[in-house]
Amino acid sequence: MTKKILFVCLGNICRSPAAEAVFCKRISSEDKPGKYFVDSAGTGGWHIGRLADSRMRKAALERGVVMESRARQIGLNDFMNFDLILTMDNSNFADVTALSKQAGSSSKADVKPILSFARNTSLTEVPDPYYGGEQGFDDVLDLLEDAIEGLLFDLNSME
Ligand code: 4NP
C-alpha cells in the first residue's frame, strides 16, 4: 500500500517543499513507483500558489535537488489522506496537533517532528531560514537529508 507522507512548515516555501524534494530525490532510484506519495503544505496561507523561495531552490539545486512544488495550506482533509505528517518546528507541531484534534476520529495521520528521525544532530527543530542568510538554507538541507535518511531506515525496517 502507498505510504502517504506530508511535510509541513509555516509558509510552505522553504523547509517543507525542500523536505518533499529531498525525499523524492532520495527514493527515486531504488523504490517502486507508487510506494510513497509525498506532498508538503504550510500552516499559513500567505504564499499559496507560489513556487518555493528562490534562495531555497538555488541551495537545493546545488545538491541536485529540484524543487517544483507550489505552496498550499494544510487542511482538515489532509488528516484523512496522509499516514504521516512531519513538522519542522515546535510551532508547526503545535498548530498541526491542534488541527488534528479538530479532524477528530476521521484523522488517520501520525504527527511527528521531522527531526525525531535525524541521527546526526541534537537539534529538535529545523530553523526557519526565511529571514536569515544563505547559510541557513544549506543548514536546512543538511538537517533534512539526515532526517530523511533516518525516516527511510525506519520505514524500511517496518516492512
Ligand atoms: P517556511 O519559511 O515556513 O520554511 O516556508 C517561511 C516562509 C515565509 C514566512 C515565514 C517562514 N513568512 O513569514 O512569510
pLDDT (mean) for 148-154: 97
Please report, rounded to a whole number, the percentage of residues in the chain having pLDDT higher than 70.
99
pLDDT value at residue 159: 78
Torsion-angle region of 90 (φ positive above 0: left; ψ -120 to 50: alpha; else: beta): alpha
Ligand 1 closest atom vs CA 13? 5
Per residue in 56-111, pLDDT (tens digit) is: 999 999 999 999 999 999 999 999 999 999 999 999 999 999 999 999 999 999 99
- CATH code linked to domain 3-157: 3.40.50.2300
Task: Name the residue of 46, 130, 131, 141 whose CB sits within 8 Å of the most ligand 1 atoms, as the mutation to test its pocket.
Answer: 130
**pLDDT interval class at 32 (50, 70, 90):** confident
Residues known to be catalytic: 9, 15, 128
pLDDT of residue 28 exceeding 80, the answer is: no
pLDDT value at residue 139: 98
Contact 71, 12 (CB under 8 A): yes
- Ligand 1 atom 9 nearest Cα: 11
Ligand 1 closest atom vs CA 15? 4
pLDDT of residue 153 exceeding 90, the answer is: yes
Q: Across the beta sheet with 84-87, what order do the strands follow? A: 36-42, 3-9, 84-87, 110-113
Please tell me the distance from the alpha carbon of residue 23 to that of residue 9, in angstroms, as a whole number. Answer: 15
Q: What is the model's pTM?
A: 0.97
pLDDT value at residue 31: 73
pLDDT (mean) for 4-28: 96
pLDDT of residue 7 exceeding 80, the answer is: yes
- Kindly report the backbone phi and psi dihedral angles of residue 110, in degrees, each rounded to the nearest multiple of 5, phi listed first: -85, 135
pLDDT value at residue 117: 98
pLDDT value at residue 110: 98
